[in-house]
Amino acid sequence: MTQLIWNGLFVGSFYALVALGYSMVYGIIKLLNFAHGDLYMLGAFAGFAILGAVGGVSSSMALPVLLAVLVVTMAVTGLAGVALERIAYRPLRRAPRLSLLITAVGASFALEYGMRAAAGADPRVYPLRLGGSSLEVAGARLTVAQLVLVGVAVVLMIGLNLLVTRTREGRAMRAIALDPTTSSLMGIDVNAVISRTFFIGSALAGAAGVMAGAYYGKIDFLMGFLIGLKAFTAAVIGGIGNIPGTMLGGLVLGLLESFGTFWLGGEWRDVFAFGVLILFLTVRPTGLLGERVTERV
């Protein structure tokens, strides 16, 4: 039981990390960035490439190296996200919503199969594995690696929350989410803030990608597809556009999946997750913490 809860929280923290980027982008320009899951994939591959360049890593040095790689990867995927926004999304910001969604699908496709062309279709084995001892807490077996990864995720999420609620930059983001036109009249450089939002969201996804690569040990070019869907589900459960809500949603989804797998069997896990998504959209489309929005004409 506690094992199930812990597994759920662990997977949930990944979901939350990816979902945050989704949620921030959606909150600020109302775009579902389908390519977000692929930025996660990109992060995993960027980390893979960096680790390959560094060479062999002894297991005692695994953790510091991983953290260093994490930082570099976050910068890489962040820049990729900015480039994506600049090339594919910004020119269409005033276009009908359908065009933007289709462009996002195209971007996701281009990233997935571009990576396939670059790195091959076969799964790659991550050069760095977090092994380490495990300890028993209240009947659940947790490994040090898991604890570290959850710790990193929590630190990133707290950092993001502080950024959005306490800084000038965060205030600008929230202002744009409310009303981009008025924000620009108030002297906010809307394009720059949106770029930086993409940077932060993509960097978080990239971090999650590296962590997933190091934990699961295997990466492939389609790994972002499913997690993108799951992250969206998490964002919807928590209330899309709402940052604490998204974190909560990730954890809730992780827990639901963990218990769903236990009851129904692993092969139904994804069906269960999407079933939850559809249920939530039917019953409470604004999510657990989202406020009701009225569509303005």
Partner 1 sequence: MTRVPDTTPEGAPEDTVRSTAADTAESTGGSATAGAARAAAPDEATGEAVNETTNEAAGPARKTAEVRRRGAGRPPTRASRLLQNRWAGLAGLLVALLAPFVNATPYALSVMTSAAIFVMLAAGLNIVVGYCGLLDLGYVAFFAVGAYTSGVLATRLDLPLVATVPAVIVVTVVAGIVIGAPTLRLRSDYLAIVTLGFGEIIRITANNLDVTGGPSGIYGIPGLAGSPVAFYYLTVVVVALAVLGAARLGRSRIGRAWRFVREDEDAAEAMGVHTYRVKLAAYIAGAVWGGLAGVLFAAHLSAISPGSFTFLQSALVLMAVVLGGMGSIPGVVIGAIVISILPEILRDLADYRFFLFGVLLIAVMLLRPQGLWPARSKEVP
Closer residue to partner 1, CB minimum distance, 79 or 101: 101
Tokens encoding 71: 């930082």
Closer residue to partner 1, CB minimum distance, 136 or 295: 295
User: What Rg value do the Cα atoms of the chain yield, rounded?
Assistant: 19
Report how far residue 136's alpha carbon sits from residue 142's, in angstroms, rounded to the nearest whole number.
6
By CB under 8 A, tell whether 138 contacts partner 1.
no
Report how far residue 114's alpha carbon sits from residue 120's, in angstroms, rounded to the nearest whole number.
10
Report how far residue 260's alpha carbon sits from residue 26's, in angstroms, rounded to the nearest whole number.
28
Closer residue to partner 1, CB minimum distance, 215 or 225: 225
By CB under 8 A, tell whether 139 contacts partner 1.
no
Report how far residue 224's alpha carbon sits from residue 104's, in angstroms, rounded to the nearest whole number.
14
Closer residue to partner 1, CB minimum distance, 67 or 102: 102
By CB under 8 A, tell whether 185 contacts partner 1.
no
With CB under 8 A as the contact rule, the residue among 233, 242, 246, 258 that binds partner 1 is 233
Q: How far is the CB of 232 from partner 1 (least distance, A)?
A: 5
Binding mask 4-23 for partner 1 (x = CB under 8 A): --------------------
Q: How far is the CB of 66 from partner 1 (least distance, A)?
A: 30
With CB under 8 A as the contact rule, the residue among 71, 95, 138, 178 that binds partner 1 is 95
With CB under 8 A as the contact rule, the residue among 4, 57, 79, 110 that binds partner 1 is 110
Closer residue to partner 1, CB minimum distance, 157 or 236: 236
What single letter denotes the amino acid at residue 48? Answer: F
Q: What residues contact residue 250 under an 8 Å CB cut-off, 6+ apart?
A: 12, 13, 14, 15, 16, 17, 18, 19, 231, 234, 238
CB half-sphere exposure, 243, CA atoms < 13 A: 21
Answer whether 18's CB lies under 8 Å from 208's CB: yes
By CB under 8 A, tell whether 101 contacts partner 1.
yes
H/E element holding 266?
none
Report how far residue 135's alpha carbon sits from residue 226's, in angstroms, rounded to the nearest whole number.
30
Closer residue to partner 1, CB minimum distance, 77 or 108: 108
Report how far residue 258's alpha carbon sits from residue 264's, in angstroms, rounded to the nearest whole number.
10
By CB under 8 A, tell whether 168 contacts partner 1.
no
By CB under 8 A, tell whether 170 contacts partner 1.
no
* Contacting partner 1 within 13-72 (CB under 8 A): 30-32, 34
Answer whether 128's CB lies under 8 Å from 65's CB: yes
What are the residues binding partner 1 (CB under 8 A)? Answer: 30-32, 34, 87-88, 91-92, 94-99, 101-103, 105-114, 116-117, 225-226, 229, 232-233, 236, 267-268, 270-271, 274-275, 277-278, 281-282, 285, 295, 297
